[in-house]
A and B are shown apart, each in its own frame.
Chain A
Amino acid sequence: MKITQALKMAAKSISANKGRSALTMLGVIIGLAAVIILVSYAQGQNMAMQKYYESLGENKLTVYASTFEGGLDVSEELANYCRRLSDCVAGFTPMGEAMGQINIKYGFQTMDQSDYETMPSFYFGNEQFGLCNNYTIAKGRELSSMDVREYNQVCVLGAATASTLFGMIDPIGKTVSISGQPFTVIGVYKAKGNGTTQYDEDGENWQEVEMTRMDRIVVMPYTLTRTLNNNQPVDRYIVKAVDSSSAKRAASLIKAFLSGIIDPNYGWCDVTNEGVWQEEENEANRLQQMFLGGIAAISLLVGGVGIMNIMLVTVTERTREIGIRKAIGAERRSIIAQFLIEAAMICGIGGVIGIGVGYLGTLIVGKLAFGLVLIPGAGITAGAFAISVALGIIFGMYPAAKASRLQPVDALRAD
């Protein structure tokens, strides 16, 4: 029997048994779509986490130093010490933050602390503020060491601050008023968030909100902190390490250095390595991914069992058919070829539909859960397709191979 003939025969058999074919396909579709969606969901979650951590800045140490009465400015000492640690420290900036009634105005536009959802954050840093906090300049320039030294009244704006105050106007060189003091805008940072300011009522989209908040900032030289921040000195610093292992080393060195210069009866210091909980979070993520992968494997198995059941349920019917075919002269290999092609066709069609459903589901889930355009990986798609089609073919073939070995009269007797 020619292959084209076998193909036609299989196609005829599929269309003649629509119910059975559809049920078999359903098993493949559900199994495949579930695997693709679940695995993509896990990957999407990883991507969203990764994006969040990247925007925070990796290998970042936060240093706190304070007297019991208030801040303690160790900026100079720490900056000098960090310069000596150049093999493990890539950058250093004070990270003062203005509290209380502070606002920024340009023309009729004002941003102040009155509304939690739109309030800007006012930071005091140095020329490495962007480097340490993972901001890059979109327009203009970063603060310079001269701005810091000379107490220049200049500021760099986050993307959201700039667009709120200036709209389409170019902010560079314009003068804004910060708590009544004139400041010149020298630069604007690139946006970190995706620009949406949508706020989820249940706090579900906290990452997204955080990201937008990151762009709603104003950065000024830290030397101005006393004049603008109720005489509060800087008490927080960011140290950017070269990599995660140097972050650990730098953390202990800086801790030791600060303990040496701060009298424990007078003040305290602390160094936190954000990479540590990032690693923990990554580990938790890996576990979740394994868990979802397990669920996906189970759905594939359930789909496979479904296919197997349908195939086995029809054994009697098909055994008789095989008996008839053998009685009128079909060779074993013709019968096996027909059933093989039939199973491959059903599972192939089911597989393609399953991939379609899986992609669609992934897009929807990605949009709803992460606000991302999530596309399933080619590897997982191909793998799941191969497994479900293989299951279908194996279980579709098994009864046929068994029945084709019978004497025609025994196969005919099946009912």
Chain B
Amino acid sequence: MLIEIENVFKIYNEGRESEVRALDGVSLRIDRGEFVAIIGASGSGKSTLMNILGCLDVPTYGSYHLDGTDVTELSDRELARIRNREIGFIFQGYNLISALNAYENVELPLIYRGVGITKRGDMIMDALRRVNMADRAKHKPGQMSGGQQQRVAIARAIAAKPPIIMADEPTGALDSKTGLHVLEILHTLHESEGATVILITHDSSIAATAHRIVRISDGRIVADSKNDPAPANEGGATA
């Protein structure tokens, strides 16, 4: 099993009146090579779940094993290593560094990984080509449209070829046509590279393109079912 969380809680302001249970006893297993959509309304806890799955946050209670390793026991340094090598993130808000151009943004995870400069150049251009952004390598985020920025963010996530891709509402800020394109890239990654893709969305038509749909509500998993993926272009990724 690649990802295995057991009875995970994320509680803010625990014990006070304002206590919020963002995750309320979630257990989930995801196998290598799956394409999973986690769907839920806004405030359902789906982003919190992804942050924990992606080692961007730690659970208040519960266990998390990633590829057999107990992640809750890891040091800051080991967590950084996992974020760097095992997981590629795609955020709704792109999260590019505005002072750096597309090439330099994609370069960052490779630098932290210690990839040499020559090899790095090849990997960066390869990633940018796969999202069709090779001709914008020298552009800064401010000079690009939302869709172009998201494609650079995808290039950054896939440049080091991590086994897991996590995308939090990757199409949320994009128009439907661009969103569709982004979705296609994710599917290509899944099919051609065998990457495990975890896609967070509130949009059921986007979730419908996945092989498995996990529905979350009020911090609990309420449904988990296999899905016969609808072709992305027919379902129509709506804004």
Contacts and interface: CB of A to CB of B under 8 A. Distances in A.
Nearest to A330: B112
Contact of B56 (A321, A331, A333, A412): A412
Interface string B94-126: 011101100010001101111000000000000
Given A331-B77, A332-B80, A407-B58, A17 B99 contact: yes
Contacts of A16: 99-100
Interface stretch (B33-41, B81-89, B216-224): B81-89
Interface in A233-250: none
A290 interface: no
A325 B83 CA distance: 10
Contacts of A412: 56, 91, 95
Contacts of A107: none
Contact of A5 (B51, B96, B97, B111): B111
A329 B57 CA distance: 13
A324 B83 contact: no
A325 B85 CA distance: 14
A109 interface: no
Instruction: Indicate the size class of the contact surface on chain B.
Output: 20 to 34
Contact of B104 (A12, A323, A327, A329): A12
User: Taking chain B's interface residues, is the majority helix, strand, or loop, or is none over half, making it mixed?
Assistant: helix
Contacts of B104: 12
B56 A334 contact: no
A138 interface: no
B215 interface: no
A1 B89 contact: no
A13 interface: yes
Given A327-B83, A328-B83, A412-B56, A1 B114 contact: yes
User: Taking chain A's interface residues, is the majority helix, strand, or loop, or is none over half, making it mixed?
Assistant: helix
B95 A327 contact: yes
A9 interface: yes
Contacts of B80: 326, 329-332
A409 B76 contact: no
A17 B99 CA distance: 7
A321 B100 CA distance: 11
A409 B50 CA distance: 10
Interface residues of A, number: 27
B151 interface: no
Given A12-B100, A407-B58, A408-B57, A329 B76 contact: no
B202 interface: no
Contacts of B83: 326-329, 408
Contacts of A409: 51, 56-57
A328 B81 CA distance: 9
A408 B51 CA distance: 9
B156 interface: yes
Nearest to A325: B108
B168 to A, nearest CB: 10
Interface string A171-191: 000000000000000000000
Contacts of B89: 327-328
B28 to A, nearest CB: 18
A286 to B, nearest CB: 50
A322 to B, nearest CB: 10
28 contacts: A2-B114, A5-B111, A12-B100, A13-B99, A16-B99, A17-B99, A320-B95, A321-B97, A323-B95, A324-B96, A325-B97, A325-B108, A326-B56, A327-B83, A327-B95, A328-B84, A328-B109, A328-B156, A329-B83, A329-B109, A330-B112, A331-B112, A333-B77, A409-B56, A409-B57, A410-B57, A412-B56, A412-B95
Given A9-B111, A324-B95, A329-B112, 6 more contacts: A1-B111, A2-B114, A16-B99, A328-B156, A407-B58, A412-B95
Interface of B: 51, 54, 56-58, 76-77, 80-81, 83-85, 89, 91, 95-97, 99-100, 104, 108-109, 111-114, 156
Top 9 nearest A-B pairs (CB, nearest first) are A329-B84, A16-B99, A409-B56, A408-B56, A328-B109, A409-B57, A331-B80, A329-B112, A409-B51
